[in-house]
Amino acid sequence: MPSSRRSFLKTTALGAGAAIAAPYAFVRTIDQAWGAQSWIKKGGPIKIGLLFSLSGGLAVPEEDSTLVMQYAIDEINKAGGIAGMPVEPVIVDAKSDFKVYSEKTKELILRNKVVSIFGCYTSASRKAILPTVMAQNHLLYYPTCYEGAECTQNTICTGPLANQHSKDLIPYMVKNFGKKVFFVGSNYVWPKESNKNAKIWLEQAGGELLGEEYIPLGGSEFGPVLNKIRDAKPNFIFSTVVGASDIAFHKQFKQEGFKVDTMPIASLTTGEIETRAMGNEFGAGHFLSAPYFEALDNPTNHKFVEGFLKSKYGKNGTTHYNMEETYLSAYVFKYGLEKAIKAVGLEGITPRAIRDHSGGIRVEDDVSPEGLIWIDDQNFNTWLKPKIGQCQADGSFKIVKAAEEQVAPDPYSIYPDLGKCTADGLKAPDGKIRKSVI
């Protein structure tokens, strides 16, 4: 029989010594931990987990994700909450450590009983927590870009996939700077899978790959890589370097005498936050592909930027694609939960019920700073408009290319033989369906 909440907490206290070594190893499922209680009680609060790094090498983008989620939650609560109930964040520091991401995921689900988790910035951290999220039939909002090639029934993504990210950037750079390119990335799954995609777009554009190098995640020594780039003489660099490493890369690029006008860096991650951290002089002239830039000229974005920067959460002085995608995830959650409550009632709400009712959810122009987006009703990624921006001398980005229409997310765009991601799982060409594919 499932234990009661009181007995679970008592057992937790008595077993604290063991829990330090193996937290929650004695509890395998949420029912064992809490019994068959509802996820959200009438009147609330609606508890959600914020699982980002507030320290370590990934804190550069992820601290701002935590701040903008709190801003969005305040905004939602001031407008009446969700179905009249307030949203309450449970904030944890993942410390840029994949083991901590995994441990905190169990803690958020089993101890805090959050109904959804918002978190991660790297695919390595996402893949570290997904086994727990899927085993608990829980729900992760992953609010940034990733490589695709996943089909789970427990994830909603509000960032771009590879087919919405580098597919326009590579031919744009080849057309404007030349065919020869050098790939540099952090050494984990997202850069490597992104580069597999980029090689296809490069071949289609008639380009030539001169070299491909990876440095450890969090690494800051780019001297050997820059020497290889100097010898290869590419027309541009395609970068999937992330976090503090990205800042070091751009600074050493300029300090080593490379010129942005003859060999710019085309990045998938270097936005306003990174430029502010490294100094505008190190970012100016380089390119970024993203669905959002702070400089987007529309009334909703003006309201978002002004409201956030004037709030107690706007201490870093800028907005950023990753922050905006995180902000959008809060509204995708709000609309999905409201839809689920109408369909199954409050007593029927589970993390999986929220996910199952989120297909087709739209965030309209008057809420979404980047413009209308919506959640695909099969793969639960986001339809959005890709854009390319060039960093200016003041650290802002000038939009140099934008898609005219929203582009469909395709997590298997370069792996068509594996099948198609549907709401029930990955459907192979022979009709067989596999669930929870990561």
Per the CB < 8 A criterion, the answer to whether 73 and 32 are in contact is no
Of the given ranges (51-65, 176-190, 228-242, 290-304), which has the lowest mean pLDDT? 51-65
pLDDT tens-digit readout, 134-181? 999 999 999 999 989 999 999 999 999 999 989 999 999 999 999 999
Say whether both 111 and 135 belong to one domain. Answer: yes
Assess whether 225 and 250 both reside in one domain: yes
Do 327 and 422 lie in one domain? The reply is: yes
| Average pLDDT over every residue of 252-269 | 97
Residue 207 lies in a domain: yes
How many angstroms from the chain centroid is the CA of residue 3? 35
H-helix or E-strand containing 103? helix 98-106
Any domain includes 262: yes
Query: Which of 224, 250, 267 corresponds to the end of one domain?
Result: 267
Asked if residue 196 belongs to a domain, the reply is yes
Residue with more model confidence, 30 or 175: 175
Whether residue 29 lies inside any domain: the answer is no
Chain position carrying tokens 């400089």: 295
131 and 238 in a single domain? The answer is no
Residue 350 and residue 304 share a domain: yes
Same domain, 76 and 171: no
Query: Do 209 and 335 belong together in one domain?
Result: no
User: 227: domain range?
Assistant: 166-267
Q: Which of 222, 252, 267 is the last residue of a domain?
A: 267
The Cα 224–Cα 130 span in angstroms is 35
182 part of a folded domain: yes
Burial class of residue 3 in the structure, from the number of CB atoms within 10 Å of its CB (0-12 exposed, 13-18 middle, 19+ buried) = middle
Residues 243 and 351 in one domain: no
The answer as to whether 293 is a domain residue is no
Confidence (pLDDT) at 34? 52
Indicate whether 302 and 430 sit together in one domain. yes
Residue at which a domain ends, from 267, 286, 320:
267
> CATH code at 359?
3.40.50.2300
**Model confidence at 223: pLDDT above 70:** yes
pLDDT, residue 30, reads 54
Asked if 84 and 172 sit in the same domain, the reply is no
Number of domains in the chain: 2
